[in-house]
Amino acid sequence: MQFSITREPLLEALQKVAGVIERRSTLPILANVLLRVRDGELTLIGTDLEVELITSVPVDGENGETTVPARKLLDICRLLPNGTTIQCQLKEEKTLALRAGRSRFALAALGTENFPEFRLQGETTVTRIDGSTLHRLLAKTMYAMALQDVRYYLNGLLLELDQNHVRAVASDGHRLAWCEAELGEAVAGLQQPILPRKGVQELFRLLEDGQTITLHLTANAIRIELPDSVFSAKLIDGRYPDYRRVFPQEINRVLTCDRQALKEAISRVSILSNEQYRGIRLDVSDNLLRLSAHNPEQEEAEEELEVWYQGEPFTVGFNAAYLTDAVTHLDSETIRLSFADPALSCLAEDPEDPAVRFIIMPMRL
């Protein structure tokens, strides 16, 4: 195998696949990127057994394939001058020789026979969706995924396909993020795949505006075909909880206020909150919201904010970081906070956009 390519397209392709490759793995082959030349095209494949990414670039060269350390090859390409032509040649199946201007490198190569590649098995559901739509779904929800929770299904993101609609749902048990959009092509029945955390992060990095992507879904894997890449991931084996039960049903307390003003007030008051629990208190009365916090050092903060609210006064406490995240991920000028009961969850949403909703559970102060 041998090929010649300029630095920039190779670097861009390596940067894409390097994100899914584990730096430290018990299997040496998983630290490598697979390089395959077929009919004037170089295909790069990276995987950690849970997530796989394939991308291709045109090259001049002879057919063949091998694997080399991904991080080392990436670092070499990154440090070469712009516009450099890189010539690669596989020697005796053990070494990949690189020539770039006056630079010479020899990377240890491993054969491809033990390199794991994804295979979709079983019945497949296929649909299309706009890349910017999926990007928005992930952007609005992925922040709420759990991190190393014993409830393993919360360590990922639910991508619910329901006929003409797709919903992204993420929760760590203390908060929930929900976003809905229309599918490009309808699917039969209800599909509820749970994407792993790392897969969500890598897919989000790949998505761009204007792309139309094809989604292939089986019982245990998902494959997403982008214009210049193919992303695959094993699904989390489990059933996502019925998130609909978290949304308040009989709402009887609703306040509306300026979103940016609320965000800034929370940021200021939370400075003097308990560093461990990050709790702030909200006292709501007619057209007035009072935010307050205190800490074990007997320090206190308080701020008042004009709101639109008519009803019985009530008090509720929240984790400041959770409330800030919800406020930040809305795009509207105003925000609506709805309660069925102060002891229950709070629904945060854009009054004019029902496609994005956030739930924050209260905390005792």
CATH number at residue 289: 3.10.150.10
Domain boundary among 224, 242, 260: 242
The mean predicted confidence, pLDDT, of the chain is 94
Q: Is the pLDDT of residue 209 over 80?
A: no
Q: pLDDT value at position 306? A: 97
Residues in the chain: 365
Decide if pLDDT at 361 tops 80.
yes
Q: What is the pLDDT of residue 281?
A: 97
Specify if 342 maps to a domain: yes
The phi-psi region of residue 343 (left if phi > 0; otherwise alpha if psi is between -120 and 50; otherwise beta) is alpha
Which tens digits make up the pLDDT trace of 260-270? 999 999 999 99
Tell which of 108, 134, 149 closes a domain. Answer: 108
| pLDDT tier at 235, thresholds 50, 70, 90 | very high
Residue 25 pLDDT exceeds 80? no
Per-residue pLDDT tens digits for 332-341: 999 999 999 8
User: Which residues does residue 71 pair with via DSSP β-bridges, in sequence order?
Assistant: none
- How many structural domains are present in the chain? 3
More confident residue, 360 or 27: 360
Residue 305 above 90 pLDDT? yes
Does 271 lie in the same domain as 227? no
Is 118 contained in some domain?
no
Asked if 135 and 207 touch (Cβ cutoff 8 Å), the reply is: yes
Three-class secondary structure of residue 9 per DSSP: helix
Strand 125-130 to strand 165-171: parallel, antiparallel, or no bridges (unpaired)?
A: unpaired
For residue 174, is it within any domain? Answer: yes
Asked if residue 31 is part of any domain, the answer here is: yes
Under the banding of pLDDT at 50, 70 and 90, the label for residue 184 is confident
Q: Which H/E stretch holds residue 165?
A: strand 165-171
Q: Is residue 117 part of a domain?
A: no
173, 113 contact by CB (below 8 A): no
Let me know the angle formed at the C-alpha of 135 by 133 and 140, rounded to the nearest 5 degrees: 100
Q: Are residues 142 and 232 in the same domain?
A: yes
Residue 322 inside a domain? The answer is: yes
The domain in which residue 352 lies consists of: 247-360
- Closest Cα to residue 95, out of 83, 108, 85? 108
Three-state SS letters, 139-151: HHHHHHCCCCCCC
Higher pLDDT, 203 or 185: 203
pLDDT at 24: 76
Residue 99 has pLDDT above 80, yes or no: yes
Same-domain status, 139 and 61: no
CA pair distance 41, 88, nearest whole angstrom: 14
pLDDT digits (tens, 9 = 90+) for 341-351: 878 899 999 99
pLDDT band with cut points at 50, 70 and 90 for residue 13: very high
Domain identity same for 225 and 324 = no
Is there a domain that residue 307 lies in? yes
Is residue 253, in this structure, part of any structural domain at all? Answer: yes
Structure-token pair, residue 60: 């001049």
Q: Specify the pTM.
A: 0.92
Residue 364 has a pLDDT of 84
